[in-house]
Amino acid sequence: MTEPLGRAQILPYLFGLAGRGADIEILSFEPEGTSEEALEITRDKMRHAGIAWRPRVRSAKHGLGTKLWESAGASFEGLARALARRPQIIHARSYLPAAVADLVATLSPKAKLLFDCRGMLGDEYVDGGYWTRDRVEYKMLKRVEKRLFHRTEGLVVLTSALRRWLDGQHVLGPQTEVAVIPCCVDLARFEASAEARAEARASFGLAEGTVAVVYSGSLGNWYLEPEMARFYAAVKARHADARFVVLSRSKTDSLRAAFEAQGLPKEDIVTRSVAPDSMPRTLPLGDIGVSFIRP
């Protein structure tokens, strides 16, 4: 809940549900090393919305033993809270929380499981080059996935294509209701103004006539950095003073290498991590937005 994704994609709908009278308690994994200031800011927001929040620590290590340990701790705490409060719905976002929620929902009287799948996590790891299909982690995750799809009462996916694929694979249980909820944006928050544009460009040191190509989000295997560099090279050929603005917390080493391969000056990349609350006043600095992702 303290990370940009949680603050931008999760908290808004939870606050909305709480405002409509839903009684919500959140058990979340927060990154190891999260500052006390970030935790306190989130606690204040939760208290204001009337939501109980129990943050746990998520290790930076990704080993199987670490994840099993984290899951066990969350299972004990989640089950204790569920038996005390008797929830009607236990909602889990992505696979590790869903494995915990499956156990808690199974042992909680009358609780139903809502699995917010997002995507096919194991296959995404394979496509990204992080795993191979013969790894024990992949095989375990696919077993958990099979059970979740068949057992859950509610399933949320991001695309209609994934819903059709799941229907064709006949992996869903007879009780499972599926909803397609794409990623979206609150357009009312992103009303660009000349004032916001001038302020943002000044803060990034961009001259008035500089063409700014903006990329916002994570970097890595799924995001086509060499293609972005080639695109920017075409822009640079037409606008010598162009800059490539990266709004991200990701490392930019591979992006800078892609720029160098195109003969582009690495100094053209301007990088900054921007909080979700500040993004509406930052994005107007751009002239061109770019997002290349592996299909």
Q: Which of 63-77, 203-217, 252-266 has the lowest mean pLDDT?
A: 63-77
Mind listing the pLDDT tens digit for each residue in 35-79?
Answer: 899 899 999 999 999 999 999 988 888 788 888 898 899 999 999
Residue 101's pLDDT is what? 94
Average pLDDT estimate for 196-202: 94
Q: DSSP string spanning 240-270?
A: TT-EEEEE-SS--HHHHHHHHHTT--GGGEE
| 113-146 burial code (b ≥16 CB/10 A, e <16) | bbbbbbebbbeebeeeeebeeeeebbeebeebbe
Six-digit token string for 107 = 């042992």
4-180 against 191-289: fold identical = yes
Average pLDDT estimate for 247-260: 93
Question: CA-to-CA distance for 19 and 180, rounded, in angstroms?
Answer: 23
Which CATH architecture best describes the domain 4-180?
A: 3-Layer(aba) Sandwich (3.40)
- Percent residues over pLDDT 90 in the chain: 69
Quote the Cα angle for 58-219-160, to 5°: 85
Average pLDDT estimate for 103-117: 93
Average pLDDT estimate for 169-191: 89
pLDDT exceeds cutoff 80 at 191: no
Shortest CA distance to 10 belongs to which of 95, 92, 101? 92
Mind listing the pLDDT tens digit for each residue in 127-177?
Answer: 888 889 999 999 999 999 999 999 999 999 999 999 999 999 999 999 999
Residue 281's pLDDT is what? 92
In sequence order, the β-bridge partners of residue 213 are 244, 288
Residue 228 three-state SS: helix
Contact (Cβ atoms closer than 8 angstroms) between residue 248 and residue 216: yes
Residue 188's pLDDT is what? 81
Six-digit token string for 77 = 């705490």
Which CATH architecture best describes the domain 191-289?
A: 3-Layer(aba) Sandwich (3.40)
- Virtual CA dihedral for 136, 140, 146, 150, nearest 10 degrees? 170
Where do the structural domains in the chain lie, given as residue ranges?
A: 4-180, 191-289
Question: CA-to-CA distance for 241 and 225, rounded, in angstroms?
Answer: 21
In sequence order, the β-bridge partners of residue 272 are 247
